[in-house]
A and B are shown apart, each in its own frame.
Chain A
Amino acid sequence: EADIYQTPRYLVIGTGKKITLECSQTMGHDKMYWYQQDPGMELHLIHYSYGVNSTEKGDLSSESTVSRIRTEHFPLTLESARPSHTSQYLCASSEVYPSTDTQYFGPGTRLTVL
């Protein structure tokens, strides 16, 4: 079944650790996105990609980085996690043709940095 997956679902780590949040989709979508959802539930775009080897920063400044080496895979990395990174991270994807407007979301990763 075509879907979008995120692992881990929950992560609790200490300050200074390097972490990678995984996002994969089996829908063949070219476009992928990372959103950060703060405890107040507001969502902000932090990264997006329109295809392999294409990545752009979003509206919200983030210390995270992303890569897009394969179409289906869009991991997000924090080199040195801090308590301010505590948040929920949502990955999304959308197709280019025939319609590019609808984004499909993964289940999210809830990150807590102690």
Chain B
Amino acid sequence: AQTVTQSQPEMSVQEAETVTLSCTYDTSESNYYLFWYKQPPSRQMILVIRQEAYKQQNATENRFSVNFQKAAKSFSLKISDSQLGDTAMYFCAFMKHVSPDKLIFGTGTRLQVFP
């Protein structure tokens, strides 16, 4: 069975600074997807970034980038130039490449961005 671990329940960062959220996972699959989702307070869960395991290149989306280490089963999220709107719960998630394509979520990291 797959598991996803986020070891940082809470983190804080000053506006404009950079912060890295950690995620490790366990799987015997060779092909899968990894995601970071963001859930702002009382708002909708939205996709931040996705990574396909067979791609060695780390995914980037504007200020968000990942450090994907397949051998170490690590998938950290780096947020550059943090903004107040980045304050949210961040979930790391795993999905197998084959059916059933359900998301396995970590327990989340609550990120607070301070002015």
- Residues of chain A at the chain B interface (Cβ within 8 Å): 31, 33, 35, 40-45, 48, 50, 56, 58-59, 90, 92, 94, 100-108
- Interface magnitude class on chain B: 20 to 34
Specify which chain B residues have a CB less than 8 angstroms from the CB of A105 in the assembled complex.
Answer: 37, 44-46
Interface 9-residue window, one of B22-30, B63-71, B79-87, B99-107 = B99-107
Task: Tell me how many residue pairs across A and B have CB atoms closer than 8 Å.
Answer: 47
B91 CB contacts on chain A under 8 angstroms: 43
Residue from A35, A41, A48, A107 within 8 A of B44 (CB atoms): A107
Separation of A12 and B89 alpha carbons in the complex (Å) = 24
Contacts A41-B89, A108-B44 given; indicate if A31 touches B101 (C-beta within 8 A).
Answer: yes
A contact residues around B95 at 8 Å (CB): 101
Q: Is A48 within 8 A of B108, CB to CB?
A: no
Report, nearest first, the 5 A-B pairs whose CB atoms are least far apart: A105-B45, A43-B105, A101-B33, A45-B102, A107-B44
Contacts of B89 in A (CB 8 A): 41
A101: contacting residue among B37, B45, B100, B101, CB under 8 A? B101
A48 touches B102 (CB 8 A): yes
A88 to chain B, nearest CB (A): 10
Which residue of chain A has the shortest Cβ distance to B44 in the bound complex? A107
B47 interface residue per 8 A CB criterion:
yes
A101 to B89, CA, bound (A): 21
Q: Is the CB of B107 within 8 A of A40?
A: yes
Contact status B102-A58, CB under 8 Å: yes
